[in-house]
């Protein structure tokens, strides 16, 4: 199985900060990488699919990049509603797998 390693596992940042969350795959996943945000007690929400495609309705401060084994989710200017846990997900090779999550706290 492809292992997805997210870093950092915990991130504390201030409103207005530029935030980056990283996801490293154990092998090339050919940009088949999605990002989800989950708030406590809620279902995950799709933010980005296939590395850099912004899901409809998601603010443009969210962006994704990467290739090969290394991928990044960037929030250009952190807003109070952006707290939560962020997961990456690879769908290049079966079984498709999630990262372990990055918990984003607002200072």
Partner 1 sequence: EVQLVESGGVLVQPGRSMKLSCAASGFTFSSFPMAWVRQAPTKGLEWVATISTSGGSTYYRDSVKGRFTISRDNAKSTLYLQMDSLRSEDTATYYCTRRYPVMDAWGQGASVTVSS
Applying CB under 8 A, the residues found at the interface with partner 1 are 32, 34, 36, 42-46, 49, 55, 87, 89, 91, 94-101
How far apart CA 81 and CA 106 sit, in angstroms, is 9
Contact 34, 49 (CB under 8 A): yes
CB-based contacts of 7, cutoff 8 Å, min separation 6: 21, 22, 24, 102
Nearest-approach distance from CB 14 to partner 1, in angstroms: 26
Nearer to partner 1, 78 or 88 (CB): 88
Shortest approach of partner 1 to residue 36 CB, angstroms? 7
Residue 13, helix vs strand vs coil: strand
Nearer to partner 1, 14 or 42 (CB): 42
**CB closer to partner 1, 17 vs 44:** 44
* Minimum separation from the CB atom of position 67 to partner 1 (A): 18
Distance CA 4, CA 87 (A): 10
């Amino acid at each position: 199985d492809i292992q997805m390693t997210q870093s950092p596992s915990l991130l504390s940042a201030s409103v207005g900060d530029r935030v980056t969350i990283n996801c490293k795959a154990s092998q090339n996943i050919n940009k088949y990488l999605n990002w989800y945000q989950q708030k406590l007690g809620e279902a995950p929400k799709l933010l980005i699919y296939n590395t850099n495609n912004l899901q409809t309705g998601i603010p443009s401060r969210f962006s994704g990049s990467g290739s090969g084994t290394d991928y990044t989710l960037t929030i250009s200017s952190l807003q109070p509603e952006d707290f939560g846990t962020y997961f990456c997900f690879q769908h290049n090779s079966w079984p498709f797998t999630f990262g372990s999550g990055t918990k984003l706290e607002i200072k």
